[in-house]
């Protein structure tokens, strides 16, 4: 591992403690500075990791002009980035267990609950940990978007309005849904949404309202249908390379996890709550029409979302050979229900959510062995 060492290493007789100068870790959010995964995830993480490690660790951000989301896998494997935002649905065959529960997206209605449930699931799932070790990375938690909606350049109110619409899909769950209602799912990087909408290549996107601001869709969209279509919680916000992790003491691994956990909650709070309110205000100011779904559309989605959980399990069994896929999906859905109750109890408060995830999940982790 290429590693920057701050401080000087001199005489061999110096104590081990003196040699353990602050390591500056190369961190790659993979998205532009205005995006919540950068501004309210990686930026606060720079402070959190110094605080939690009492100054032993620090980090510097590598921008998307060096490493974007599509390049994250290669950047982590080459060591260009030592920690980065990795999206498992980009490469489902490489992390099949993780991708299976990540695809259980359409049932999502509570962002903090979805992120917390996925975090607990991955940390305590031995097959998930085994595939992460094979991939050469360590998982330190997830965040979530707000629920997805139709953001389009044409009205969408009822089921018939979707026929033939070309809609960007953020992943397989939304592609399946689009196919089901005779729309045309288009798979392209989120950063290309603005250009594709402006050129008329697509008629809109299925995404969270934050994208009205993060990717300037407020300048192009004319209509938003507020039907809730699940959450994008399929994130590994702080994916650490094996070499970097191995170089840290158990105490510093624990500090790294605490810092990541705090930043994960910040990301969800910003993306799912603060930016949603900001986006609605901006959209109304720009003349965007916000509508509720007609009954036929809402009923069709509710039926499809429930059935899709079984589809996800069966697809994972067939594609990846995960024989207990149905049991894995059922366990994740139980965790979602448990975390929905917890979030209902404490409210959508980032520090409170982080504290509860720390208590329920990370405080039970042995950092001598986790990720190794």
pLDDT in tens, 247-302: 999 999 999 999 999 999 999 999 999 999 999 999 999 999 999 999 999 999 99
pLDDT attached to residue 89: 84
From 142, 141, 119, 138, select the one nearest 130 (Cα to Cα): 138
pLDDT at 2 over 80: no
Q: Where in the chain is the domain with CATH 3.40.190.10?
A: 149-231+284-307
Q: Would you say 132 and 98 are in contact if contact means Cβ atoms under 8 Å apart?
A: yes
Specify the 3-state DSSP secondary structure of 86: strand
Buried b (16+ CB within 10 A) or exposed e, 335-358: bbeebbebbeeeebebebbbebbb
| Cα distance between residue 127 and residue 134, in whole Å | 11
Q: Give the per-residue pLDDT at 368.
A: 97
Max distance between CA atoms of the chain, in angstroms, equals 77
Long-range contacts of 43-47 (CB under 8 A, 24+ apart): 44/262, 44/263, 44/266, 45/238, 45/259, 45/260, 45/262, 45/263
Across residues 132-146, what is the average pLDDT?
A: 96
Tokens (6 digits) for 156: 């969408």
Report yes or no on whether pTM surpasses 0.75: yes
Whether 174 and 206 have beta carbons less than 8 Å apart is answered as yes
Residue 20 above 80 pLDDT? no
State how far the Cα of 137 lies from the Cα of 113, in Å rounded to an integer.
Answer: 24
pLDDT reported for residue 214: 86
User: Distance (Å, rounded) from C-alpha 331 to C-alpha 349?
Assistant: 25
Residue 15: per-residue pLDDT = 30
What are the two backbone dihedrals, phi and then psi, of residue 124, each rounded to the nearest 5 degrees?
-105, 10
Look at residue 190 in the predicted model and tell me its pLDDT.
83
22-144+233-278+312-364: CATH superfamily: Bacterial extracellular solute-binding protein, family 7 (3.40.190.170)
With a cut of 90, say whether residue 201 has pLDDT above it: yes
Residue with tokens 């979030």: 343
149-231+284-307 classified as CATH 3.40.190.10: yes
């Amino acid at each position: 591992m290429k590693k920057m060492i701050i401080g000087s290493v001199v005489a061999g007789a110096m104590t081990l403690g003196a040699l353990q100068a602050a390591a500056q870790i190369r961190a790659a959010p993979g998205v532009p500075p205005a995006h919540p995964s950068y501004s309210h995830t990686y930026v606060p993480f720079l402070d959190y990791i110094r605080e939690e490690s009492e100054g032993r660790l620090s980090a510097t951000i590598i921008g998307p002009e060096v490493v974007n989301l599509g390049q994250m896998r290669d950047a982590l494997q080459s060591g260009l980035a030592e920690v980065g935002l990795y999206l498992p649905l980009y490469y489902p065959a490489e992390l099949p267990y993780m991708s299976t529960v990540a695809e259980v997206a359409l049932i999502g209605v509570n962002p903090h609950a979805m992120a917390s449930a996925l975090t607990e699931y991955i940390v305590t799932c031995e097959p998930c940990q085994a595939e992460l070790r094979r991939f050469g990375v360590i998982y330190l938690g997830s965040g979530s978007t707000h629920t997805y909606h139709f953001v389009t350049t044409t009205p969408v109110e009822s089921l018939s309005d979707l026929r033939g619409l070309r809609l960007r899909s953020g992943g397989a769950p939304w592609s399946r849904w689009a196919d089901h209602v005779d729309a045309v799912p288009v798979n392209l990087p989120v950063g290309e949404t603005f250009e594709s909408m402006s050129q008329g290549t697509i008629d809109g996107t299925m995404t969270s309202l934050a994208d009205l601001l993060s990717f300037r869709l407020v300048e192009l969209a004319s209509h938003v249908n507020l039907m809730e279509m699940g959450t994008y919680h399929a994130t590994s916000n702080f994916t650490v390379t094996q070499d970097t992790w191995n170089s840290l003491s158990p105490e510093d691994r624990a500090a790294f996890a605490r810092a990541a956990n705090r930043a994960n909650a910040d990301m969800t709070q910003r993306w799912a709550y603060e930016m949603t309110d900001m986006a609605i205000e901006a959209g109304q100011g720009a003349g965007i029409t916000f509508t509720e779904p007609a009954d036929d559309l809402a009923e069709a989605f509710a039926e499809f979302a429930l059935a899709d959980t079984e589809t996800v399990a069966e697809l994972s069994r067939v594609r990846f050979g995960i024989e207990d896929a149905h049991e894995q999906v059922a366990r994740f859905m139980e965790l979602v229900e448990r975390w929905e109750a917890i979030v209902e109890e404490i409210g959508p408060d980032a520090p409170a959510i982080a504290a509860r995830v720390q208590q329920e999940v990370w405080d039970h982790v042995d950092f001598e062995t986790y990720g190794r």
